[in-house]
Amino acid sequence: MAVLVVGVDTSTQSCKVEFRDLATFAVVARGSAPHPPVTPPCSEQDPATWWDAFVAAFRMALAAAPAHSAIAAIAVAGQCHGLVALDAKGQVIRPAKLWNDTTTAPELTALRREIGDDTFIQRTGSLPTAAFTISKVAWLARHEPDHFARLATMLLPHDYLTYRLTGEFVTDRSEASGTGYFDADQDTYLVDFLRVIDPAKPWETMVPRVVAGDGVAGTVSPAAARELGIAPGALVGAGGGDQHASAVGLGLTAPDLVVALGTSGVVFTHSATAVRDPAGFINGVASVTPGFLPLACTLNAAKVTDAFARLLGVDHAGLSRLALAADPSGPVLVAYLDGERTPDRPGASGLLLDLTSDATREQLARAAFEGVVFGLLYGVRHLAGCGVDASGDVFVVGGGARSPAYTQLLADQLARPVRVADVPEATARGAAVQAAAVARGDRLDQTMAALRPVATVVAEPVHEPDETRWERYLEGCRVTALDRPGV
């Protein structure tokens, strides 16, 4: 009988599930199911749809798994920051506001004014944006007081699936550190920040228990097991944030740099010590393993090239071919198509500079990829400015890793080879690594090292970084500091 572990990625777009053999760690089955589409600035999903998608994806994988398999452990990773509001009976009060919902920006501004930016940075490691959970809590208090009065427990998206699996209110330090009310350096909740929203709420009882990355959140309940079609009692890990779990899946060690190209764009590395960026550009969040995962996250990444592919009437492969056929000149794109998270410009829009009547389709395609890459390069340079060493190997993950244009432009701008690990789904793989550590009773960092995947260089630098275009990009960024009127 095969003994399996399960890694889950509950993202903004979908739920993906990997079944892996515990002994060999080979994938034996996969499943996926979509989530309802969302479009900022108001971005909400009903958490019940996440559970339905998880059950569908799980059963799809189970049907393809070896007969008579036993599930030893499950771990769930997922989209960060979103607020799942539960009442005293553990029922969802309203749809979850997601990380890319920017309607909570006014509440975040008020919190920053009262608590102070320096205090936020020093105590949480990050200067929160509208993405952070604390802004969603404040929004609920201000706009839906009846719902806020019922609020008894606050979970994050991956916590909700863990809760549905186990009945336990549990999170991990990587996800807790992205709420805006958790000090990952001291591993403690900052209830005084929440009291700014409401001084009377019993906040200490409303936050989930924080479990170590290789700790056990609980076991699969009989009710959940029936829905999944398995025996109850499988161990459930603490889970983690999506990027944090991808670091686990890659076996990330300092000073390697990861560039994640999904709906959002993220650059991060590992640090043994806490990172504090006085400018607030870098989020000094915790990693799933001991230590920290300093990162910069942009709101606009692969969806920018999705939009340009639609505008130019080509598919993704066609857009990549157009971009690689262009000479390194032409328009420069500031890719804040749906506002921006880093830098914090929730009301900004995209800006195309230096557009002339002789611009080509190839140049427009290249501008789309370059605009996303420039936004990520901004993050890499801020990491260096904070004294974080990210000079090691460069790994690209996410859907954008399949694009030759993305990987080539990254190699050129970073002046380093770009690698892609043999990991089609880094987040789901990371959750499976976590489940394997839980099933074996091993330390997570040791399991990561033992299961580190093979990586291949997919792009070498061809062109030297064009500082003139980079400076032009920065000029455009300064223009977008003025948000759209009325937004």
Which of 429, 368, 435 has its CA nearest to residue 397?
429
Q: Given pLDDT bands bounded at 50, 70 and 90, which one contains residue 108?
A: very high
pLDDT at site 92: 98
Q: Given pLDDT bands bounded at 50, 70 and 90, which one contains residue 487?
A: very low
Radius of gyration of the chain (CA): 22
Count, residues in the chain: 487
Q: Does residue 248 surpass a pLDDT of 50?
A: yes
Which of 455, 452, 435, 421 has its CA nearest to residue 20?
435
From the number of C-beta atoms within 10 Å of its C-beta (0-12, 13-18, 19+), residue 485 rates as exposed
Rounded to whole angstroms, the Cα distance separating 380 from 434 reads 27
For 419, the enclosing helix (H) or strand (E) is strand 418-421
pLDDT at site 481: 62
Task: List, as one string, the DSSP characters of 423-484.
Answer: -S-HHHHHHHHHHHHHHHT--HHHHHHHTPPPEEEEE---S---HHHHHHHHHHHHHTTSPP
Other CB atoms within a 10 A radius of the CB of residue 225 amount to 17
Which of 190, 209, 74, 216 has its CA nearest to residue 132?
190
- Rounded to an integer, the average pLDDT of 58-63 is 98
Asked if residue 412 belongs to a domain, the reply is no
Number of structural domains (the chain) is 1
Asked if residue 271 belongs to a domain, the reply is no
Give residue 115's domain range: 3-242
Both tokens of 364, joined, read: 């427009």
Q: Which amino acid is residue 126, in one-letter code?
A: S
Q: Render pLDDT for 201-219 as a digit per residue (tens, 0 to 9).
A: 999 999 999 999 999 999 9
Active site residue 315: no
Percentage of the chain with pLDDT > 70?
Answer: 99
Asked if residue 285 belongs to a domain, the reply is no
Both tokens of 12, joined, read: 């903004």
Q: Does residue 39 surpass a pLDDT of 90?
A: no
Rounded to whole angstroms, the Cα distance separating 29 from 17 reads 8
Q: Does residue 486 surpass a pLDDT of 50?
A: no
Both tokens of 44, joined, read: 């909400």
Q: Given pLDDT bands bounded at 50, 70 and 90, which one contains residue 484?
A: very low
Which of 353, 393, 348 has its CA nearest to residue 370?
353
From the number of C-beta atoms within 10 Å of its C-beta (0-12, 13-18, 19+), residue 449 rates as exposed
Distances, alpha carbon 374 to alpha carbons 157, 192, 425, in Å: 30, 37, 24
Q: Which of 242, 256, 277, 344 is catalytic?
A: 242
pLDDT at site 424: 85
Q: Render pLDDT for 307-354 as a digit per residue (tens, 0 to 9).
A: 999 999 999 999 999 999 998 889 999 999 988 878 878 788 999 999
Q: How far apart are the first and last CA of the chain?
A: 58
Asked if residue 471 belongs to a domain, the reply is no
Asked if residue 163 belongs to a domain, the reply is yes
Rounded to whole angstroms, the Cα distance separating 384 from 390 reads 7
Q: Render pLDDT for 265-287 as a digit per residue (tens, 0 to 9).
A: 999 999 999 999 998 889 999 99
Q: Render pLDDT for 159-175 as a digit per residue (tens, 0 to 9).
A: 999 999 999 999 999 99
Q: Given pLDDT bands bounded at 50, 70 and 90, which one contains residue 360?
A: very high
Asked if residue 50 belongs to a domain, the reply is yes
Q: Given pLDDT bands bounded at 50, 70 and 90, which one contains residue 252?
A: very high
Asked if residue 313 belongs to a domain, the reply is no
Question: What is the overall mean pLDDT for the chain?
Answer: 94
pLDDT at site 90: 97
Which range has the worst mean pLDDT, 39-43, 48-52, 92-96, 110-114? Answer: 39-43
Other CB atoms within a 10 A radius of the CB of residue 62 amount to 19
Which range has the worst mean pLDDT, 105-109, 122-126, 410-414, 483-487? Answer: 483-487
- Rounded to an integer, the average pLDDT of 350-367 is 96
Kindly report the CATH number assigned to the domain that includes residue 128. 3.30.420.40
- Rounded to an integer, the average pLDDT of 237-250 is 94
Rounded to whole angstroms, the Cα distance separating 119 from 91 reads 34
Rounded-to-10 torsion of CA 331, 332, 335, 340: -140
Rounded to whole angstroms, the Cα distance separating 206 from 356 reads 56
